[in-house]
């Protein structure tokens, strides 16, 4: 009996490993196919643009190319007139001087150990190849969304990189664009001590994962609530909250219990980030940021690292979500903290339409109402 159970257990492990290997191979093959397909579309678009410029061909050549390609490859999808036009647009939009200048500028601003004295033309040539490789990492449908909904080079580069890095689905990408993830992720709007508390590579990834503010309009809050009520609303709409946090966050639990000796403590929300390989503790605060919040979060992170962090996990990260923050105050509060902590604001309501201005309480008045609803101590 024991022998049969051992065989069954061994086989289950064996077949599980085989399935994982097959799934990994299929994913790798799909990515390789996508890279080849987007590279093909890039080359077709480039060839059309160059021939039109050098030979003076008009717009009708695109329709002719579509007809000829469909006739030569009758079983191949993707050569419709509209798609061929989009191939042309893919190359033309991504190869604009503005987007290449954006890449060059970002590279020169980034800290580097050499490369001085290079010409602008050599920089642009190198960045053009980097851009081509980046474009090939993104599925076709994602490109159509980025090209159709965004115009600014910096915006397009942001969503290209984020999609490639975090594996955003098309729906997640659309959600992030609508939520203005780029505008809310600008470095100058973020408050954290990641460069001091994490290795360089992890600090950069953590900074990308943290937004400067979070849009919680989906909760539909129209009156003052307490912190625990806000927490309950977030759990009820967990899927929307995770989409707002960003790709990679996996929910672990609410009011997550930690113990130290005879005392117990509770983290409002605990997540695990698949790509950072870190536990992420989130504390919700209805009022403005207070310096003591940083000390409390630092204490929680020490407990998480000591008691629950896996051997191969990166250091745990803390995010304090509050209604309002002063960046200078946050900077001084985080200076002495050894654990990586970020502080971000959240928005419960969107901007009012012009006709409603002056007819509802101001954000400051609403914050006063919320503070009045809070007990003096939690």
| SS3 annotation, 167-179 | CCCHHHHHHHHHC
Distances (CA, A) of 110 to 163, 192, 218: 21, 19, 36
pLDDT at 88: 94
Enter the tokens of residue 168. 């955003």
Matching residue, tokens 């200076």: 335
Q: Is the pTM of this model over 0.75?
A: no
Element (H, E) at 351: none
Element (H, E) at 216: none
Distances (CA, A) of 7 to 4, 16, 21: 5, 14, 21
- Listing DSSP states for 236-260 in one string gives HTHHHHHHHH-TTEEEEEEEEEEEE
Enter the tokens of residue 227. 């912190």
- CA neighbor of 316 nearest in space, from 336, 302, 333, 326: 302
272 phi/psi in degrees, rounded to 5? -125, 130
Enter the tokens of residue 377. 């101590």
Q: What is the rounded distance in angstroms from the CA atom of residue 90 to the CA atom of residue 144?
A: 8
Name the pairing type of β-strands 341-347 and 317-324. Answer: parallel
pLDDT at 227: 59
Instruction: Please list the pLDDT of the chain residue by residue as tens digits (378 residues).
Output: 455 555 677 788 888 888 888 888 887 888 888 888 899 999 999 999 999 999 888 989 999 999 999 999 887 788 999 999 999 999 998 888 877 776 666 555 444 444 444 444 555 567 677 788 888 888 999 999 999 999 888 888 888 888 887 777 888 888 888 877 777 655 445 556 566 666 665 666 566 555 545 555 544 544 444 556 666 666 665 565 655 666 677 888 888 999 998 899 999 889 888 877 889 898 888 778 888 999 999 999 999 999 999 888 988 988 888 878 877 788 888 888 888 888 887 754 444 344 434 433 444 443 444 444 444 433
Domain ranges of the chain: 30-110+121-184, 189-373
pLDDT at 325: 80
**CATH of region 189-373:** 3.40.1350.10
Cβ proximity of 131 and 100 under 8 Å: yes
pLDDT at 22: 86
């Amino acid at each position: 009996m024991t022998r049969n159970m051992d065989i069954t257990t061994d086989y289950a492990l064996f077949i599980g490993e085989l399935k994982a290997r097959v799934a990994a191979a299929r994913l790798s093959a799909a990515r390789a196919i996508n890279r080849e397909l987007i590279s093909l579309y890039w080359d077709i678009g480039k060839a059309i643009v160059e021939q039109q410029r050098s030979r003076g061909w008009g717009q009708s050549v695109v329709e002719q190319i579509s007809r000829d390609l469909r006739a030569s490859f009758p079983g191949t999808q993707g050569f419709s007139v509209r798609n061929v036009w989009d191939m042309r647009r893919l190359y033309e939009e991504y190869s604009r001087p503005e987007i290449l200048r954006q890449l060059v500028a970002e590279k020169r601003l980034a800290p580097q150990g050499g490369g001085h004295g290079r010409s602008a033309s050599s920089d642009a040539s190198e960045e053009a190849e980097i851009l081509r490789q980046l474009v090939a990492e993104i599925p076709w449908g994602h490109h159509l969304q980025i090209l159709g909904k965004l115009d600014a080079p910096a915006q397009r580069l942001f969503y290209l990189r984020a999609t490639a890095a975090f594996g955003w689905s098309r729906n997640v990408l659309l959600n992030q664009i609508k939520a203005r993830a780029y505008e809310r992720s600008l470095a100058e709007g973020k408050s954290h001590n990641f460069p001091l508390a994490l290795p360089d590579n992890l600090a950069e990834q953590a900074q990308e994962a943290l937004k400067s503010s979070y849009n919680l309009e989906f909760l539909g809050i129209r009156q003052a609530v307490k912190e625990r009520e806000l927490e309950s609303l977030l759990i009820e709409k967990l899927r929307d909250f995770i989409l707002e946090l960003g790709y990679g966050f996996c929910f672990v639990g609410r009011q997550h219990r930690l113990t130290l000796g005879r005392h117990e403590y509770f983290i409002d929300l605990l997540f695990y980030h698949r790509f950072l390989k870190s536990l992420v503790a989130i504390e919700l605060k209805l009022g403005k940021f207070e310096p003591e919040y940083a000390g409390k979060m630092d204490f929680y992170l020490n407990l998480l690292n000591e008691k629950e962090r896996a051997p191969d996990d990166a250091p745990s990260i803390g995010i304090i979500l509050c209604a309002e923050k002063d960046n200078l105050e946050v900077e001084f509060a985080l200076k002495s903290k050894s654990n990586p902590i970020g502080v971000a604001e959240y928005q419960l309501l969107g901007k009012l339409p012009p006709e409603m201005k002056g007819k509802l309480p101001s954000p400051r008045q609403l914050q006063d109402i919320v503070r009045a609803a809070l007990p003096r101590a939690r």
